[in-house]
Amino acid sequence: MKTAVFDTKPYDRKYLTAAGAAKDVEWQFHEFRLSSETVPAAASASSVCVFVNDRVDDECMEALHELGVGHIALRCAGFNNVSLEAARRRGMVVTRVPAYSPHAVAEHTLALLLTLNRRIHRAYNRVRELNFSLNGLIGFDLFGKTVGIIGTGRIGRITAQIFRGFGCRVLAMDTRPDRAWADEIGVEYVDLETLLPRCDIVSLHVPLFPATLHLLNDRTLALMKRGAYLLNTSRGKLIDTTALIAVLKSGQLGGVALDVYEEEEGIFFEDLSGDVLQDDELSRLLTFPNVLITSHQAFLTHEALTEIARVTAENLVRISAGQPALDGTLVS
């Protein structure tokens, strides 16, 4: 069974190869992303394996269908880049890996916050230059602060629990609140307009849907407490970047930590260190001393990569044998 893998990085190759060997999956690795232009690379495959920035829209789906590709296997949880409707119309199967390690993402969220708040990134560079001064490195205690968790699914719930461990008060917002869980760990559900002005830290864990696009915009960013920290390890388009830059310039926010960016496609995951960065808004964000950006790496742990490869390979085998997928069927 041949599977064309797009947007392949060395770590994908390593973990997929190990998982596929035992299952008779023949991977065809491509470094470029899947789009309607690159579809011909899947010519001899019966399935494709894609990641967060491959663009599988209606046109791409039609071209895959014409080639005889019947299964799109996402090796990630988010699926906003794949047209499920287009797959459904053509009788194609779409699977994903819904929960490879919510801990990886939740823990990275905290790593970003602690790094930014306690200025670890600045201290690390200073000490290496034998500058042992503490000037400009003042942070704040997390203990006793109020944290807002937007989206209490798998990742949001774990993030909330970690914050509770720090002794934070946690407010949460979700269209489908889990009240039993909230009561058990001491979380209070409120609406967005109540949450934003009350929180010292706001962390985003909702998927990107039309309803969540630019959830944080001019109006909602203005509701945030002055000096608050905003964390986004979910999807870049949850935040209107232009509005974010405006509130950073005005000093309204104390800090912003991003693992995702609105226009990350073609930038994140790539080594552009020898290039001129063409994205003016990302360039501007990188100039703020209180903004910390990582390149969509929250998922990048050994445990998560092992699980992603295991579930992806198993789903490919099962779908090709006409059996239901192990987990994460989006379109069957």
Residues whose CB is less than 8 angstroms from the CB of residue 89 and which lie 6 or more positions away in sequence, other chains included: none
Residues whose CB is less than 8 angstroms from the CB of residue 66 and which lie 6 or more positions away in sequence, other chains included: none
Residue with tokens 């935040």: 239
Q: List residues binding ligand NAI (CB under 6 A).
A: 77-78, 99, 102, 105, 151-156, 173-176, 205-209, 211-212, 233-235, 259-260, 296, 298-299
The minimum distance between CB 95 and ligand NAI, in angstroms, equals: 15
The minimum distance between CB 54 and ligand NAI, in angstroms, equals: 15
- Pick between residue 219 and residue 226 the one whose CB is nearest to ligand NAI: 219
196: alpha, beta or left? (left if phi > 0; alpha if psi -120 to 50): alpha
Is 264 noted as a catalytic residue in this protein? yes
The minimum distance between CB 80 and ligand NAI, in angstroms, equals: 7
The minimum distance between CB 25 and ligand NAI, in angstroms, equals: 23
Bridge-based pairing of strands 329-331 and 93-95 is antiparallel
- Contact, 49 vs 5, CB < 8 A? yes
- Pick between residue 220 and residue 234 the one whose CB is nearest to ligand NAI: 234
On the CB side of 203, CA atoms within 13 Å amount to 30
* Helices 120-128/102-117 angle, 10° precision: 60
- Pick between residue 4 and residue 195 the one whose CB is nearest to ligand NAI: 195
- Pick between residue 45 and residue 155 the one whose CB is nearest to ligand NAI: 155
Query: Strand pairing partners for 329?
Result: 95
Tell me, what amino acid is at 257? A
Token digits of residue 194:
């109540």
- Pick between residue 190 and residue 246 the one whose CB is nearest to ligand NAI: 190
- Pick between residue 8 and residue 233 the one whose CB is nearest to ligand NAI: 233
Catalytic choice (264, 310, 314, 318): 264
Catalytic choice (157, 296, 310, 318): 296
The minimum distance between CB 277 and ligand NAI, in angstroms, equals: 21
Residue nearest to ligand NAI (CB): 153
Catalytic choice (235, 262, 307, 314): 235
Token digits of residue 77:
């949880």
| Closest to 113 in 3D by CA, of 178, 45, 159, 167 | 159
The string of DSSP codes covering 66-99 is HHT--EEEESSS--TTB-HHHHHHTT-EEE--TT
Is 235 noted as a catalytic residue in this protein? yes
Is 88 noted as a catalytic residue in this protein? no
Residue with tokens 């599977």: 3
Supply the residues annotated as catalytic: 235, 264, 296
